[in-house]
Structure 1
């Protein structure tokens, strides 16, 4: 029996050596932690969905034995990207409609809609993404050919920015739209006493309210389709801007089932029922879902001339755009949001809209604070108003690809002097020392690499302009990466749980095929995601 003790001892020791104390080790990597010192490491450990250690693999392997080991093959690893401004739900629904993005003429749009209709024969025809600014004829289209193709079936085709649409007569009849009809914060375009089919901003809602509500299956399919595409580009959290409160339970149920793994930060739309719901129930927070903010629209978009300007548009005399609601509405909304302790996030494009909202914010925030109220877009801000951001800790939430998408025609809308202080991301960043970045998809492409490229290189995908667009407002690569990770998390009050690869945070990370901190600027748009992880579990792998 005594001879067996040494053997038993070795067996027990061997068993102890095989006891796992971690779920995952990522090694042989260049890990950009995006912590306060922007440190790097070559490995980290994951347990129970969170980062438990970061450092050198030789040290970590002496302490941890993981059930799974990922060898990154020397590739760069980053925190999962966070899109600080997008329309996740709308994008998902749009994947089921006709896609008009990038089409170079109205005739091509019509051909695409006709083809779609031949395969989708029932109900409304809904599409989106057309942009007259990329056509040879840059004027808004007319509904005449739509009426000819679809005399009975209603059609609505949204402009790329979501702030204008063209509809056919069948849709106008259903909605009861009449020539010369007036609406606050919107325009029903009428030429020679006849409807052209163009609706701008609030006028679009007259028609969209008549479209049948999406079925539960359509909603769920849309959310899951959006998630799939987002994981493929490295997004692990998305801020969904302006949704109905009813979506909260749908998302929560899908997340509980494990079907929807994407983390979402929801901003409820500026509607009384949404205020009533959240004010009564309070903020909603789970690891995957955070609801504590409201999205308000101050004005429209520059491309459809709905942005509210201090002086008339350079290419349309005596027209300065408009606010989408009376100033009193924004004052009332800001007051009640402040009283209830929620976050206010306001779409403001034009310099007049930004001035109105910045002053309303300042009146409620009263100087330095940590309420993190946000101005979404902040595209055209008068130079004398920029300081209000810093004086009241107002967060400018921007989308760099808007600058490179708009630059070709924005000068026609604004003139060179006014454009010079537009899309001023570096200057805005300096006000508080940080700035969250997003895409505004589906208005722009969902790919965060386009965001990173536009923020740092200030060029479009064709590499123009060669020397960059107003490079004094370019962000450094470090700033851009923070804007897509840590600073985006901070804009959501989530910087203690995500946005960097640090101990105690969710193990949301991505592996890229190139190091975006070192690769040539021209390579950035082509960088691919190799793997995406949420809670240390792989949710995407490039085939």
Structure 2
């Protein structure tokens, strides 16, 4: 009996020694792999920052050993979430500014600014997040009350979409603009012969802001990372960065202070940036990918800057506008097409979508796998959907549920048939990349999931959902937030699903978003976020 026991112990030791040492084992989970078959698994092993095995808990524990074993206790795990269109750096800077989101009136805005200034006592007040469509009086505010409250301190307040800016007279005087300043691709709003203080799109560029210090920029990036990790984001596509910011991000990543993976779209606003990066070529590390340019086609629907083929329904003889002359887009597209870079163009209005699709098709003729993107693709003419066969749609589902109460009044019933048409876009291309556009919308990706699948916001006031014919299934939505978003970044071989050889980026959730009652989806919380197998939240 004693010999048998010793033999048994020896056998156990031998088996244990044969197990491969790994950095992390996760067992007893409800893991959605988001692979081609959309399979589930119980467990997986991680080594050197990558998944090396996926299977049952018994299989993984039988073949691998680790000092770090996570018993998920049947909690749901999904791949690290990817926000395919956001403004990560800008969001970080906003953490240092006055937050005007959720205000219900212009008076609310003013109260927040006064409180902010009493606490901060800054020399230039910058705010963000007001939306007149959420107010009882749905008209642009004017600067008179700001002039009274802050006669000597410049004030600049961005509308929630970033396409309109309210400034006071002190900011106007500092910037030396007048009602007669010429603007192309935007508008200085004039009323009764005087500037109201509202500037649209290109007109905003005339305002002179104080320079952001290096320390402010660093703190902003780190603050944005902390919040993004708390929502399960492990990759963000930052839509429009300048060279200085991209180089700062690279430095912070190399020093391991910034761990977030960033798909950096270079701002295409300046020709010297386009020239520099095309000459430099694609920059690719495990955390940073610089291989695309973000170009603005038009403004936003909320500020009536989106370029429309026919006049707005609620403003006579007003069409919005392209940011640049049409020929300029062709010049930019030709230069990018001659390189390996991707072009990602903001297009909201049906006119902007028509022109950008036409331009893409013209310059990409006889090329393959370019994955050029239309960002937002918000209002598309019926005949233009067919042109998305080889142009990738990158959309933000919460835009639909944020705009649903006023969009039809702005563009009319007929044009609404091609608005927020995510199902139609998916059917044409076969994939769709999903994001939030934060800070225009909230960072929370589970609001994205809810808006895409049930076309509702967290208030649930529209019980039947908004334009449900264009809803996505839960599987399609999760793919759009993971593997399809990775595809849109040329990164599907390294992330977007839980498969052997890919980065060990994954998220543990407190409930199963693939099966819970729909109304519970917005309440989903992230238990833990892992990047490279390291717990970062």
TM over 0.5: yes
Post-superposition shift, 1:280?
A: 1.9
Query: In structure 2, the residue corresponding to 1:136 is in which secondary structure?
Result: coil
State whether residues 19 and 62 of structure 2, in contact with CA within 8 Å, keep that contact through their aligned partners in structure 1. Answer: no
Post-superposition shift, 1:252?
A: 1.3
State whether residues 27 and 72 of structure 2, in contact with CA within 8 Å, keep that contact through their aligned partners in structure 1. Answer: yes
Q: Distance in 2 between matches of 1:115 and 1:273?
A: 41
Deviations along 1:15-66, one digit per CA (max 9) or x if unpaired, are 9639752111111001100000000010011000000000111112111111
Q: 1:19 to 1:429 in 2, by over 3 A?
A: closer
178, 191, 215: which is aligned to 1:217? 215
Post-superposition shift, 1:341?
A: 1.8
Post-superposition shift, 1:149?
A: 0.4
| 1:232 equivalent in alignment to 2:247 | no
State whether residues 533 and 539 of structure 1, in contact with CA within 8 Å, keep that contact through their aligned partners in structure 2. Answer: yes
Query: In structure 2, the residue corresponding to 1:227 is in which secondary structure?
Result: helix
Query: In structure 2, the residue corresponding to 1:340 is in which secondary structure?
Result: coil
| TM-score (norm: length of structure 2) | 0.97
Alignment-derived partner of residue 492 in structure 1: 489
State whether residues 313 and 410 of structure 2, in contact with CA within 8 Å, keep that contact through their aligned partners in structure 1. Answer: yes
Q: 1:466 to 1:11 in 2, by over 3 A?
A: closer
Alignment-derived partner of residue 3 in structure 2: none
Post-superposition shift, 1:273?
A: 2.2
Q: Distance in 1 between matches of 2:66 and 2:20?
A: 6
Query: In structure 2, the residue corresponding to 1:67 is in which secondary structure?
Result: coil
Post-superposition shift, 1:181?
A: 2.4
| 1:456 equivalent in alignment to 2:453 | yes
Q: Which moved more, 1:414-423 or 1:520-529?
A: 414-423
Q: Distance in 2 between matches of 1:11 and 1:374?
A: 58
Alignment-derived partner of residue 136 in structure 2: 136
Deviations along 1:453-492, one digit per CA (max 9) or x if unpaired, are 0000001111131111110100000000000000000000
Alignment-derived partner of residue 439 in structure 1: 436
Query: In structure 1, the residue corresponding to 2:433 is in which secondary structure?
Result: coil
Alignment-derived partner of residue 427 in structure 1: 424
Q: Distance in 2 between matches of 1:138 and 1:16?
A: 69
| 1:343 equivalent in alignment to 2:342 | yes
Query: In structure 1, the residue corresponding to 2:46 is in which secondary structure?
Result: strand
Q: Distance in 2 between matches of 1:179 and 1:388?
A: 40
Q: Distance in 2 between matches of 1:382 and 1:180?
A: 35
Q: Distance in 2 between matches of 1:306 and 1:258?
A: 40
Gaps of 5+ in 2: 1-5
Deviations along 1:76-105, one digit per CA (max 9) or x if unpaired, are 100010000000000000110000001000
Q: Distance in 1 between matches of 2:143 and 2:101?
A: 19
Post-superposition shift, 1:369?
A: 2.4
Q: Distance in 2 between matches of 1:522 and 1:99?
A: 28
Q: Distance in 1 between matches of 2:193 and 2:18?
A: 82
| 1:35 equivalent in alignment to 2:32 | no
Alignment-derived partner of residue 404 in structure 2: 407
Corresponding pairs, count: 531
State whether residues 30 and 41 of structure 1, in contact with CA within 8 Å, keep that contact through their aligned partners in structure 2. Answer: yes
Query: In structure 1, the residue corresponding to 2:157 is in which secondary structure?
Result: strand
Q: Distance in 2 between matches of 1:115 and 1:446?
A: 25
State whether residues 282 and 340 of structure 2, in contact with CA within 8 Å, keep that contact through their aligned partners in structure 1. Answer: no
Query: In structure 1, the residue corresponding to 2:197 is in which secondary structure?
Result: strand
Q: Distance in 1 between matches of 2:520 and 2:480?
A: 20
Post-superposition shift, 1:10?
A: 5.3
State whether residues 19 and 64 of structure 2, in contact with CA within 8 Å, keep that contact through their aligned partners in structure 1. Answer: no
4+ residue runs over 3 A deviation: 9-16
State whether residues 180 and 189 of structure 1, in contact with CA within 8 Å, keep that contact through their aligned partners in structure 2. Answer: no
Post-superposition shift, 1:323?
A: 0.5
Deviations along 1:202-223, one digit per CA (max 9) or x if unpaired, are 001110xx11211110000000
Q: Which moved more, 1:331-340 or 1:249-258?
A: 249-258
| 1:259 equivalent in alignment to 2:289 | no
Q: 1:254 to 1:169 in 2, by over 3 A?
A: same
Post-superposition shift, 1:122?
A: 2.5
Alignment-derived partner of residue 293 in structure 1: 292
| TM-score (norm: length of structure 1) | 0.96
Q: What RMSD, in angstroms, separates the aligned Cα atoms of the two structures?
A: 1.6
Describe how 1:305-324 pairs up with structure 2 within 5 A: 305-324=304-323
Alignment-derived partner of residue 3 in structure 1: none
Q: Distance in 2 between matches of 1:257 and 1:341?
A: 28
Query: In structure 2, the residue corresponding to 1:337 is in which secondary structure?
Result: helix
Deviations along 1:153-206, one digit per CA (max 9) or x if unpaired, are 000000000000100000000111102322000111111221110000000111
Post-superposition shift, 1:12?
A: 12
State whether residues 18 and 65 of structure 1, in contact with CA within 8 Å, keep that contact through their aligned partners in structure 2. Answer: no
